[in-house]
Amino acid sequence: MTFQKLTIVFAVLIALMLGIVGIGQLKQAQATNTDSTSKSGGVMLPPDQLAPILADAKIDIKKDYIAVINIWATWCGPCIREIPSLNGIVAKAKGKKIRFIGATSEDEATVTEFWKRREGKLSFDYELALSRNIAEALPYLYAKTKGERIADAIPQHYIIKNNEVIYFHLGGLTSVDEAEMLKKLGLK
């Protein structure tokens, strides 16, 4: 066999091996995605990984309440524009077992200055968590568990009940998104 023919045979064998490995990885990713999707269509997050992430906001995943997490930043226009809509959802949930947390990875001085500039013009009627852990690790865990890449963009919205993300939305809320959140929270 000539060197050229041997090179071609070797290249074909490598391509076949890479194809087999690729198919195996695809099947594994699909199995992970299927295993993480609950019967209700939500995404089940591993409790041993979720609990430490939410600990910064003192969210106990063993308690019987729903956690609504909004990941935002002071420099994010859509994040600021949706605060009144989120406040409206918070008002409708009054007296229910629902906790609303706005999580940001920004430092306390930045957030404090932001609110001083808006005093009397804008309120934040839900809990604030200065938590890089929630703002960065929760999206990573959600994407990894779901088997998809989630854009590194904000705002992000999660409704979590019993370790399950029953609602996820990336981007500023529209009236349609707000209605869907209310429905998922049992408020509509």
- Indicate if the alpha-carbon torsion angle 95, 92, 180, 149 is positive or negative: negative
**What is the C-alpha to C-alpha distance for residues 115 and 174, in angstroms, rounded to an integer?**
24
Higher-pLDDT residue of 183, 33 = 183
Give residue-wise pLDDT tens across range 139-174: 999 999 999 887 788 999 999 998 899 999 999 999
Amino acid 97: pLDDT: 93
Question: Binning pLDDT at 50, 70 and 90, where does residue 38 land?
Answer: low
Give the tokens for residue 106.
């920004």
Amino acid 34: pLDDT: 40
Amino acid 23: pLDDT: 40
| pLDDT (average), residues 43-60 | 89
Q: Tell me what percent of the residues of the chain surpass a pLDDT of 90.
A: 64
DSSP result, the chain = --HHHHHHHHHHHHHHHHHHHHHHHHHHHHHHHHHHB-TTS-EEPPHHHHHHHHGGGT--TTSSSEEEEEE--TT-HHHHHTHHHHHHHHHHTTTSSEEEEEEESS-HHHHHHHHHHTTTT----SEEEE-HIIIIIHHHHHHHHHTS---S-S-EEEEEETTEEEEEEES---HHHHHHHHHHTT--
As a whole number of angstroms, the longest Cα–Cα distance in the chain is 84
Amino acid 24: pLDDT: 41
Q: What is the pTM of this model?
A: 0.77
Candidate from 44-53, 59-68, 71-80, 173-182 with smallest mean pLDDT: 59-68
13 has pLDDT over 80: no
Contact 89, 174 (CB under 8 A): no
Amino acid 58: pLDDT: 86
Give the tokens for residue 188.
């509509």
Amino acid 145: pLDDT: 93
Question: Binning pLDDT at 50, 70 and 90, where does residue 32 land?
Answer: very low
Picking from 51, 57, 163, the residue whose alpha carbon sits closest to that of residue 103 is 57
| pLDDT (average), residues 103-118 | 95
Amino acid 100: pLDDT: 95
**What is the C-alpha to C-alpha distance for residues 30 and 11, in angstroms, rounded to an integer?**
28
Helix axes 3-36, 138-146, angle to 10 degrees: 110
Query: Which residue bears the tokens 């989120």?
Result: 86
